[in-house]
Structures are given as C-alpha cells and as structure tokens.
Structure 1
Amino acid sequence: MTSHARRPHDRLLSAAATAAVLLAGLTIPVGGAQAAAPPAAAPRPAAVDGWQPRPEQYASTVTRHDLTIPMSDGVKLRADLTLPADADGNATDQPVPVLVTITAYNKTVLESGGGAVLSGGDPDYLVKHGYAELVVDARGTGTSQGVWQAFSARENKDSGEVVAWAHSQPWSDGDVGMIGASYMGISQLFAAGDHPPGLKAIFPQVPAADVYRDVVASGGQIDVGFIPLWLGLVTMTGLIPPAYTATEPADALGVLVDHLIGGGTFTLPLSIRALTGGDAAYDGPFYRERSPIEVLDDVTVPTFLIGGEYDLFQRGTPLDFEKLQANGAPVRMILGPWDHLQGSSGAEVADAGYGTLPELQLRWFDHWIKGLDTDLDAIPPVTYYEQGTGDWVHANKFVDNDLHARSYALSGTSAMGGVSGGLTTAAPVAGTSTMVPLPVSGICTRSANQWTAGIMNMIWPDNPCLTDNKLNDLSGLTFQTAPVTQEVRFQGPINAHLFVSTTGGDGMLSVAVEDVAPDGSVHRITGGWQVISQRKLVPSRSRYLDGRLIQPWHPFTKASKARLAPGTIAPVDVEVFPTGAAIEPGHRLRVTVQGYDLPHLLGPLPDVLPQALPIKLYTGPAHRSVLTLPVR
C-alpha cells in the first residue's frame, strides 16, 4: 500500500502521462489519482443556492495497486483501490461506498502525471469524505487482459460486472456510484444499462449518446481530427509494460501480446475500412452496439451529466439527458461553454452556481448513496450557459415548453470573399450562390479546437481563431440578418434546410450559426454538417417543434447514399448541433455555408474528388432555404 509516494515504475511513465493529457484530456477520474495534488486554491464561497459541503471525515488516503477483477469469461481486469485513511496512513477498517471509474487510458499513466492536471480539484476529495474509489483499466487496455474493441458488447458487459464485483467486496458497504469523463462517462451509461446490483447513482461528464452521429462521422464524413488521436492514445498507453511485470512476468507478457493483437485486429483495420469507404464509414450494427443511447430505454439510475457547448459530445449529452428524463430517472444536466478538455476537467463547473466539481459530486452521492439531505431540489433539471449574454439559464427540460420554432429564410445572393446575402423572417429574394469547397475552411475556427478535443485552446488560449470567425467565413457563403432590435434567444437543436445542386453529384455542407457584433467580429455559436448524397430524411426519427423540423435524422447507410444527377436541385437538411445563445440588440444572426471543415472532417477516399467540386445554393420563394431555431 502507498499513499502519494511514486513507485520507480511510475517515473518511467511521466512522459506518457504528459502525452495522454496533451492528446486527449480525455478523461481523468476526479478522485484517486496518485500524482501530487495541485496547489491549494483560495477557499470558494458556498454555492449560489447556499449549500455547503460537509467537513472531511478522513485526513489521508491509501492506495492498493493492481487488484485483479475476474470477468465471467475468465479475462482478468486490473484496478487500483483508494481507501480513506487516518493521518498515519492506516486505511479504515469500516466498509464504505465505492465510486468506480473504468478507463481505456491506462490507470497507471493517469496516476503518474495526469490526474492533478485535470481533476478539477483535490483528486482525493471524495475519498476523504468517506468513499472508496476503484479505478479499472478496461478490457484490452492499460494493465488489463483481453483485446480492446472499444465498447463492444463484451466490454459493456464488463462494466456491469465490475460494479457487481465492487458491490460484493469486504471493503465495500454494498453501495456503488460511478464517476469519470468521456470514455469513463460512456462506461457508466453502459453499466447502468446492465442493471448491476448495488449501483445507486452515476456522474458522467461529457458522454456520448450515438457515437456515429456524435463524433465518428458527423453528417456522414469521417472525423479525421479526433478519432486518430483517440485510437492512437489508447494503443500507445496499452503498450506500456505493467507495473507487475517483475512479480507476474507471464501475466504481464500476456497483457502486452493481447494489446498488440488489438492494435492489429481492431484499431488499424477499423481506420482503413472507414477511410477507404468500407463498412466502417457507414452507420450500422457496429456503431449501434457502441452507442449508449441504445441501452438507456429502461435506465432510471440517478444521473448527473456535465456537457459542453463546444464539446465532442455536444450533440450526445443532451440526448442522454432526454432519454433518462423520459424514463423518470432523477437526472440533472449542466451545459457550459466548454470544450472536451474543459468539460473533462470540470475546473469551471462552479461557475454554474452549485459548487466545484468535487463538491457537486459529493452533493449528488451523499444524497443518493448516503441518504443525506443535500438540497438537490435547488438544482433544476437543466442549467446551461447562454452564449451572448453570459447568463446561466435554468429549465425543466432540454427543449422546454416555452420554446417555439422560428425560421429565417436565406435571401438573395452571397459570394465567397465576404459578400453576404440576407437572412429574414419576411419573404426571401430569389438568388443563386456558387461555393467552391476550399480545403482551408475550418482551420481558423473554434470548430478546429472542438474536434481536436480542446488541444488548440490548451496550447494557445489567446488564439484569435477561437474568438473571431471572420477570416474563416471568407471561404464560404454568408447570409445574415439586419442588426436585431430585440434580443433573439434560442436553445436546443437547429435545422438548416438548404436547396443545392452539385457539379460532382455530391459534396459536404458545413454550416455555422454565428453572432456578428457591431464591430464586425464573428462569434461561432455552433455548427452542423451534412453530406449531400446522404440527404435521405427519416421523419419518424426526426424532431419537430410547432410542426417545423429542428433536428433531422438521416440513416447514413450505404443503401441510403444517392448522388444528385447533374442539374438537379434538391433540399438537404443539415443537423446543426444543439446549443443555447442570444443575439443581442445591434448584433446580427449569421449562417455560413462551406464545403470543408478541417481538420475535423474528410470524406472517404472514393468521395474526395466529387465532394471537392462546386456547389450551388438556391434561395427565394421557389427554393426556400431556411434556418429554423427553437426560440425562447
């Protein structure tokens, strides 16, 4: 057992830990990390609603490394257990509730250098308040046996079995919660779908819902920004020799062989099939198996979700919330102005008014696990940051009853280089605008930061591309309102219904919804993407508000793909990812349409040329291209 002393093996991992933080920021568990804690911050005031956390029960923590957790098929997972301890480092002999984190990024790497960077506070906060924390390497990753296949049915079954194992251990009082971000947040949803004994509450940060539409292939194009980084990170951290190599050499060698097999039979072939237009480029059973939304139909475990308006799972986290709320689950959600790194760390969660991330987790678990009164009724179901005003807005539902559909018609003609057409609620003027897709669109935008998980913001936070989209908009077609005289507040998913024709029979429509300030600076609020050949709409799975489409659903299968014949004008519905924002008086609402969003998306190799040819966009009464917003 150790407290915070670093083992010799840990020192060999510091470089890998730094790389893990830089590449993904994905996902450091809040408690139990064994790196030195960051310097103590100044005491924060109580939460806005007046709630105060209870005092710590324990002075210290102690960790047991590389516990073996047997799965039902014989594969052994490895875990580190952190227990409350007295000032002398003696672990409590009283059973306590257990908080489980399941990671694919190697628990040892994270504990050797990443935890303090992204913990959002004292990494041992929850343990010192009377919880144990169990950090587990997922099958085929880190120190665990098996072949990694990223949320396969077998791995998802593991999540439930890990919870059941923690529930039955002598150091556990039988009650289990779960914490963690991104991959660890997704694992929580799959565990909840397995209904394991003892699971009382979960706290997923920035989790996905539908992995194909959320992140793998937004709008039908392949995510070449984040996905290669993610696959590389898991593979890299899985090839580090386990710390128990000296004591269990045969087991350690078997783990490394398993991980090499996983890289050769899963990661590399998957990437090749996607980029060459194979089955992995389309939606289907492979992605359904890996999408948490598919297992949430009857899940009612209390769930607190943290999401980001510039996050990889900007689309998915609200869908998880809505599914759980429809089931009657006690559920809360905070959506902040955060990218994936920021949402994973939770460092700014206190801005929402309910305490720091560790305090909010304590508040949640103390209520649902320990039965304490933490005044959860003071936290509304939805709290989101409103871009434009900077206000935190409260709502009972994600798309609440006070929202109504408002459509703005694209009007007249736009030209690349800064000539804007109109955006109006009145009758639109007919026009035809030609767009030549340029493979520089997207590079100088907040989208580039979003779809590389927040790395740009971390490395260069003062980058003007993160705050002004004006330069990027020159490579597309822009349509904007006159300066508004009354505030326009909108929240939820958005649809862009665009009439287009293409030279190559295909193309990608990258749509940005923006706020143009009186000084001409352009704030990118949100975006959406759609491959023209995948325009087939399924009304029964789409969302409407006041009879108007606000969230289209496309099949994205090989069978649904249909190129446009030359000269054919067709409507294409572009799902613009959900957000919350206000256009203040004197500002303009703008929509910009481009043919690329790099480094985010790129078509499979067979589609690269057709998708690089000119696209025409039509406006006016005969071809009513519109942007439809849920307006409050």
Structure 2
Amino acid sequence: MNQGPRRSWRPIAAGICTATVLMLAACSSSSSPAGAGANGKADWTTLGTRAVTASDDKPITSNGDAVWTDYDPEPTYAGMQHQAMQYVTMRDGTKLAVYVTLPTDADGNVVTTPLPTILVQTSYNGVAGQAVTAIGGADPYMVEHGYATVVVDVRGTGQSEGDWEAFGEDEQADYAEIVDWVTQQSFCNGSIGLYGVSYLGITTVITAAQQNPAVKAAFPIVPIGDGYRDIVFTGGQVNTTFIPLWLGLVSVLGLTDPVLITDPATGLQVLLDHVLNAVAGFQVPTILKALAGDPDTAYDGDFWQVRSPLENDAKIEVPTFVVGGLHDLFQRSEPMTYESIKHQAPAKLLIGPWTHIEAAFGEGLPSTTDGIPALNHIELRWFDQYVKGLDVGADTMPNVTQYVLGLDRYATATDWPHPDAKAQRLYLRGDKTLTTDMPAADEDSNPVVQLPIEGLCSISTSQWTAGALGLIPLPCFENSNASEVWAVKYETPAMTDDTYFNGPIEADIWMSTTALDAGLSVRVDDVDENGVAKSLTNGIQTASLRAVDATRSRTLDGESIQPWHPFTQDSVLDVTPGDAIMVPVEIFPTSAMIAKGHKLRIAVSASDLPQGVPPIPTLLQSLVGALTIYSDADHPSSVVLPVVPASDLPAAVASQ
C-alpha cells in the first residue's frame, strides 16, 4: 500500500411529482414518496442473502458532524527486517509458507519486544509481496509504527503446499489455525489486526467472521461479497475478462519459488503440484465448466455460497474499515460489507472513484480538497485505536465517505444506504425520453439487435480488467457514445438543478426477443451539454434467469430497488419468442450527481462483453435474434433511482 497523492413494479403514487423529470430534483427534496417514514427519512430494507431474508434497515444517524483529519505520528522504530521464510504445518500435514517482518532499532537490531501483529493472507506469493506490498507484503510505514507483520501464502499458492481452490473450506479452516499460530509466537503480544487488498481483503473478512478473540480489528480493501453475483456470473453471465487473468496470475506467481534453489527437493514438488492443480485441478477446469454451463458452476449453489463472505459478514464483531471503488470489480458488495457489520461493531466505509488497481494504492489520496488522508495513515489510526488500544479518534472519522461522480469530490454521510434517499421511478418512453409520467397505451416500442460483442471498448473494459486496460488512455473509456451505438437510449431533458443519487438502482425492462433467450445490459450515463456520455454504473441480466425472490430483494419507500435473483437451475423461466416479459435488472450501486444542464441517460442493449457472456448453451440460444423494448401502459419499462437532496453535497459546490 503506497501513500502518495492522486484519484415487482408499481408506479409512485400520483401527485407526488410533477409531470416531467425537470422537477426531479425538487421532488426529491419536498414531499415524501409513498412508503416513506413519517420523519421524511427513507424507508430502506436490507438485501437478503442465501440464508437470510431482507429486513427493515436501521439507519445510523450518529457522528453526523464528523470531518476528516490526518493521523501521522512519528515512527516508533527506525526500520524493518524480513525474517527467513518458514513453514507452518496444518491439521492435515499441509505446510504453508509464512513470512515474518519485524521492526528494527537505529542500529539495525530486530526488536524483541512482543508487538501487535498485522496478518496478511495472500494467494499471490509472499516473495512477490515483498516487492509489491499490495499483493502481500509488509508495509514499512506500519512496521516502523510498531507492528510485526505476518504474510502467509494460502494453501496451494506461492511457496505453500496443497491444492488451491480459491476460498474453499480447507483454505478457510487454515485461516483459523494461522491466527492461533501467530498468537503463540514470541514477537506477538496477542493482539492481531487483519489487513489486505483484493484476495487478501477477502481472507481478512472471512477470518474476522471466525471470531477468534485475538483478532481485534480488520481493514479490508476491495473485498468481494458474493462470488457469484459480484463478478463470476453477474446476471447469470460468466466473466471472461478478469477471471481468466486472475486465475492465470495466481498460477504464474505460484511458479515463482526460491525454494527451488534453497531446497530443490521441496521446491520442485511444490512447483509440480501447483502446475498440476492449475491444469487438471481447479483453474482451467473451473473456467471450462463455467463456459460449458456446468450446473454446479453456472448456477448458484453450495460452491458459490462457501465463496461468498456476505453470507457470514454479520458474524464480524471487530471494528472493520471497508475500502471500495465505484468502478471496482466488487463495486456491488463493498458497501453491503459495511452494512452487514455496522450494527454489531464499529464500521466505516470509504469508496473512491477507483478501479481495482487504483483502489489498491488509494489513488489520489491524500485529498487536499476533501481532507482525506493516505490509506495507510487511515489504517494506522484504525489499528492504533482498536489493536493497540490507544484513543486516537478513529471512532470520530466519518462513517461513510464516497466519491461523487459528476461532482468530482468526496461527500460524507452517517450511513449507507444513504438515510436521505427517496425512491424515484422514471419511465422509458416510446419517444426515447425519460419522465416521471406513466406511458400511454399506444406508445412505440424500440428494437435492439442481439449482438454479443457490445461494450467491447467502454468503461467496462477498464473495470473488468481490474483497471489494467484503463491505463491506456482510450477515448471510449471517457465517452460511452461509441459503445452505445447499438443500444436504445432514453434521456431526460436537461436538468434544471443538480440531481444526486446514491445507492443501488433497478431497471424493470419489458422486452421480447425473436430468439430463445437474451441478455439485457442497462447502462446509466451522465450526458453533458456537448453530448459526451460518461458511464456511471451498469447492470446485466440473462432473461431466462429473471426470476426474483421478493423476500430477499431490497426496497426503498416500498419500491423494489435491488432485485434478488436466485440464479438456480430450478428458477430458470421460459423465454418464448415474441412474448413480452418483464426483466428486473440489478444495476450496481453508485454515487453520482447529474449537474444542472446535463441529462440522465439509460442505455439498453443486449450485451456487455467485458462484464460477461452467457455460458455456451445459453449463448447459442441468444445468438440470432432481436430485442423489442416496450414502453406502453401495459408494459411500462422503468428505472428506480435512490435520489438524495443535492443539499447533502458539500455546500461549496451544491447548487441548492
């Protein structure tokens, strides 16, 4: 981690809003929509999980005056020293590679005083982590401020023995044994802080949920929440960009094994085991099964439940600081990770304008405009208070801090979902406008060609390659017009006021297809005065998997705003050519402002290639065909937005 600067539908009750979207901003700050609480605050429910149904949200309203301040005390120690790699033997005899880093005094001597310890569990090889801290290494800033660091190669990765199965049950059982091992070491004073980015952040939240009393706090950066819904099978479509790259990265880094030189007999066997597992055990077979539509992989079930931390995040009882990104791989679940923890432990949420790679380094922090410190300064404050037990004001940091796209600044709130949000439903009209009025009986429908390659060059290309391709300054990453050529686009008139929305979005699209199945991609754009469209967020959904479990879906003011799709084989619904069906599309949560003079656009197409493609059997049923998007009184396609008063934004730039 570096410290350096950078970046079921129901219409809303009649009479709540005026006839056109020009009054959207005023509507959001006046009378409450149907279902709103008597105090004018939003009535949110939670989103359920596989095991738990949705329930009424209990918003946090304290700490409303919190502001960001920096925390950067003088280092306690002069330097650090990496200890020789060692093995720790698990219950089944599998040996895991462990790398310990300890602080040193001014003379270079290793400190022998027992210290609080930061635990990092990585799949990317602890040797590589010593060069790139974000993938699994000790941060000199934290070590010099009085923390020992333990990095562990999880089972079947790096220099560890065993078979890798990406958060499988054996690997998760290892986490508990490693925590016990750390507490028994002479360098550890018995207090552990869990830290990590991406895979390492996921091991952090899973380990925290195991409730070992030695674990005192957690600081996960961009952790996944739901292995199926977040990325691998978003909307029932398999991710063919990031997932193969990620599996390949783990495999390649697993071949970087210095033990080959220091202990050839051990190192060669570990290397061969990693290669065999990649080819015949987990990585390659998992990809092939997903593409082939293997029921145990392509549909939700036990395999994915085990690999979805949100199923157990409510068990976390230690203070947890969650970091996410508005264009991150796990954009969907990062705020829900915070939401799952906030009522049983101190929790904070920071979401930047980041892709996965940018979030790993806290790109753009410290922010001189909004006062947000570098990520490792925040981490130090969090661990100093909750691991060391010092009173350093970690509890006074803002509860929720989110970058606001279109405003290009950070805004704070007391909670997520935003307590001031109100549901606003806009209708996709036959003339390609977006309004609060219900469509008439005879309004036109609009055709969409079913092309499986849409979005090929779009912000999705950057997001779903973890931001790697986003490092190439392509115009299509900044302007969505080219990637939406084949989409049908619905726009509001130019906004008369700034319009702020924050949270998940639901698109209820009435459609038919000439094929046996179809995909739907729905993109939310901010269109400026020159017609440049910037993508804010999007969702994707396979039509045959459109079934919704209303008991697990999230509502706002009585409106469904985040559908829960079962994605099981038993939930598959027929798609009959020519028959109109309503497909609820989950659009991932965002934080954005459509500025006065700009337009809100909803672009509907048949695919978003970088985000996902259907498994081959479904793809073959969808290849030849055309969609019809309906916009009439009997088939009122619409979108539900969580609109927040613009006055909640930083006062210096809000126009209200």
1:402-551 to 2 correspondence within 5 Å?
A: 402-413=420-431, 421-429=432-440, 430-458=443-471, 460=472, 462-551=473-562
Q: Distance in 2 between matches of 1:214 and 1:445?
A: 19
Aligned equivalent of 1:52, options 71, 79, 83: 71
Residue 397 of structure 2 corresponds to which residue in structure 1?
379
1:211-610 to 2 correspondence within 5 Å?
A: 211-240=227-256, 242-263=257-278, 264-279=280-295, 280-326=297-343, 328-351=344-367, 353-413=371-431, 421-429=432-440, 430-458=443-471, 460=472, 462-610=473-621
Residue 102 of structure 2 corresponds to which residue in structure 1?
83
Residue 63 of structure 1 corresponds to which residue in structure 2?
82
Native 8 Å contact 1:157 1:194 kept in 2 = no
Residue 99 of structure 1 corresponds to which residue in structure 2?
118
Say whether 1:138 aligns with 2:154: yes
Q: Mean alpha-carbon deviation: is it higher for 573-582 or for 554-563? A: 554-563
Native 8 Å contact 1:160 1:192 kept in 2 = no
Native 8 Å contact 2:236 2:299 kept in 1 = yes
Residue 622 of structure 1 corresponds to which residue in structure 2?
634
Report SS of the residue matched to 2:569.
coil
Q: CA deviation at 1:237?
A: 1.3
Q: Distance in 2 between matches of 1:566 and 1:596?
A: 18
User: What residue identity is the alignment partner of 2:639?
Assistant: L
User: What residue identity is the alignment partner of 2:338?
Assistant: F
Report SS of the residue matched to 1:539.
coil
Q: Distance in 1 between matches of 2:543 and 2:606?
A: 11
**TM-score, L = length of structure 1:** 0.88
1:116-131 to 2 correspondence within 5 Å?
A: 123-131=139-147
| Structure 2 CA distance for partners of 1:49 and 1:596, relative to 1, 3 Å | closer
| Structure 2 CA distance for partners of 1:501 and 1:629, relative to 1, 3 Å | same
Q: Mean alpha-carbon deviation: is it higher for 250-259 or for 74-83? A: 250-259
Q: Distance in 2 between matches of 1:377 and 1:307?
A: 19
Q: CA deviation at 1:170?
A: 0.5
Q: Distance in 2 between matches of 1:454 and 1:201?
A: 29
| Structure 2 CA distance for partners of 1:472 and 1:246, relative to 1, 3 Å | closer
| Structure 2 CA distance for partners of 1:41 and 1:247, relative to 1, 3 Å | closer
Q: Deviations 1:462-489 (Å, cap 9, x if unpaired)?
A: 3211211111121211001011112211
Report SS of the residue matched to 1:350.
coil
For these two proteins, the number of residue pairs brought into alignment is 578
Q: Distance in 2 between matches of 1:172 and 1:623?
A: 63
Q: Distance in 1 between matches of 2:551 and 2:378?
A: 38
Report SS of the residue matched to 2:91.
coil
Report SS of the residue matched to 2:570.
coil
Q: CA deviation at 1:117?
A: 10
Q: CA deviation at 1:63?
A: 0.6
Q: Deviations 1:521-570 (Å, cap 9, x if unpaired)?
A: 00100000100000001000100111101000101112211231122111
Q: CA deviation at 1:293?
A: 0.9
User: What residue identity is the alignment partner of 2:428?
Assistant: L
Q: CA deviation at 1:261?
A: 3.1
Native 8 Å contact 1:517 1:586 kept in 2 = yes
| Structure 2 CA distance for partners of 1:117 and 1:212, relative to 1, 3 Å | closer
Q: Deviations 1:68-121 (Å, cap 9, x if unpaired)?
A: 222222211111111000233210011111101111011112324x338999xx
Q: Distance in 2 between matches of 1:347 and 1:423?
A: 35
Residue 33 of structure 2 corresponds to which residue in structure 1?
none
Report SS of the residue matched to 1:80.
strand
Native 8 Å contact 1:409 1:424 kept in 2 = yes
Q: Deviations 1:27-83 (Å, cap 9, x if unpaired)?
A: xxx3xxxxxxx8x9699xxx9744432100111111113122222222111111110
Q: Distance in 1 between matches of 2:581 and 2:323?
A: 38
Percent identity (aligned): 39
| Structure 2 CA distance for partners of 1:514 and 1:220, relative to 1, 3 Å | same
Q: Distance in 1 between matches of 2:234 and 2:219?
A: 26
Q: CA deviation at 1:626?
A: 0.5
Q: Distance in 2 between matches of 1:53 and 1:142?
A: 33
After superposition, the CA RMSD in angstroms is 1.9
Report SS of the residue matched to 1:224.
coil
User: What residue identity is the alignment partner of 1:153?
Assistant: E
Native 8 Å contact 1:542 1:549 kept in 2 = yes
| Structure 2 CA distance for partners of 1:41 and 1:573, relative to 1, 3 Å | closer
Q: Distance in 2 between matches of 1:484 and 1:189?
A: 41
Residue 33 of structure 1 corresponds to which residue in structure 2?
none
Native 8 Å contact 2:210 2:315 kept in 1 = no
Native 8 Å contact 2:238 2:612 kept in 1 = yes
Q: Distance in 2 between matches of 1:470 and 1:244?
A: 52
Q: CA deviation at 1:254?
A: 2.8
Native 8 Å contact 1:538 1:554 kept in 2 = yes
The structure, 1 or 2, with the larger RCO (C-alpha pairs under 8 Å, 6+ apart) is 2
Q: Distance in 1 between matches of 2:385 and 2:133?
A: 26
Native 8 Å contact 1:526 1:579 kept in 2 = yes
Q: Deviations 1:199-226 (Å, cap 9, x if unpaired)?
A: 0111000001111000101100000011
Report SS of the residue matched to 1:223.
coil
User: What residue identity is the alignment partner of 1:623?
Assistant: H
Q: CA deviation at 1:296?
A: 1.8
| Structure 2 CA distance for partners of 1:206 and 1:500, relative to 1, 3 Å | same
Native 8 Å contact 1:147 1:261 kept in 2 = no
Native 8 Å contact 2:4 2:366 kept in 1 = no
Native 8 Å contact 1:363 1:374 kept in 2 = yes
Unaligned 5+ residue runs, structure 2?
7-65, 645-656
| Structure 2 CA distance for partners of 1:42 and 1:477, relative to 1, 3 Å | closer
Q: Distance in 1 between matches of 2:86 and 2:198?
A: 24
Native 8 Å contact 1:336 1:349 kept in 2 = no
Q: Mean alpha-carbon deviation: is it higher for 189-198 or for 534-543? A: 189-198
User: What residue identity is the alignment partner of 1:437?
Assistant: Q
